[in-house]
Amino acid sequence: MHSKPSLQTAAAVQFLTVDEESAGQRLDNFLIRVLKGVPKTHIYRIIRSGEVRRNKGRVSADDRVNPGDVLRIPPIRLSERAEEKAAQPAPAREFPVVFEDEAFLAIHKPAGVAVHGGSGVSFGVIEQMRQARPQARLLELVHRLDRETSGLLLIAKKKSALKALQDQFRERETGKTYLALVKGVWPARLKVLDQPLHKYLLPDGERRVRVTGKDDPDGMKSVSLVKVVQAVPAPGGLDTAYAQGFSLLEVTIKTGRTHQIRVHLASAGHPIVGDDKYGDFELNRQLTRLGFKRMFLHAWRLKLAHPVTGQALELQTELPEELSKWMLAGKSD
């Protein structure tokens, strides 16, 4: 039986038994879903500290839960503000649908919207869609996109579809291609970026990633394939330091690491336009003055096998207007 903890009993130790519907879900995602109102940072802290136990043993955030697993959750006390926030459901919202059938749907996620609540965000795409579709038996994120990234996002409507799609992502059987606009002229000969990535935390707890050496035991193999689509002239009004303009790239990722494309492109000396973590901050400041206010990274195309029929699918969603319009403006100057 699946029990959802309530805020009233959260001050005591809880024992949750994982149900069939949650089988195969990552521990962190499972707890984020059932511990409504608990900040994501707090959930990760109690996992890292070993206070969350599975069948009396330690467990990691990325371990997958199984039906019948018994999870021990330590006492959790929420602030009044967190309790108030938890009591207010996310506003219902639908997003543009690229593909939908009885197994899953693919939507176009706009930039600036988180895929789920946590880390200072009270709700995201998945919470809003659950409110908009109260009749849906199941709506679960198949994968993630950075909040600043727009484009294709898959949501499962069946447990079997969720597992089949996540298996494809984990086994690198999907083809994920992004469009990115980067600073400068990308060298056409540079087609493969194969540098391990190392995750670390800033003093304030925020996540960052950097390129590391092949001998780093904590480095994760990361491969990005790059193809130049076109050169994009700098718009009028930009400092002469950026007169060489920009390059529009197709980037296909063979691994799905945190911030992979952003870090790989920046480490090659061509950061993504508008990237507030790894970008050229002076360039971003000047572009903001010209009205460009987001990161130019878009999840454009996704090749996968249908989770039920096995049929090959190719899903695609074009650049949103705020990106395509800006490129055209750059060309006309």
Which residues are marked as active site?
146
How far apart are the C-alpha atoms of 257 and 211, rounded to whole Å?
12
Q: Cα dist. 262→9, 258, 276, 279 in Å?
A: 42, 9, 10, 8
How far apart are the C-alpha atoms of 126 and 95, rounded to whole Å?
10
How far apart are the C-alpha atoms of 314 and 236, rounded to whole Å?
37
How far apart are the C-alpha atoms of 205 and 101, rounded to whole Å?
39
Residues 220/211, Cβ–Cβ less than 8 Å: no
Question: How many Cα atoms occupy the beta-carbon half-sphere of 295 within 13 Å?
Answer: 28
How far apart are the C-alpha atoms of 233 and 135, rounded to whole Å?
49
How far apart are the C-alpha atoms of 21 and 138, rounded to whole Å?
9
Cross-strand bridge partners of residue 104: 156
How far apart are the C-alpha atoms of 96 and 109, rounded to whole Å?
8
Nearest to 150 by CA among 113, 123, 125: 113
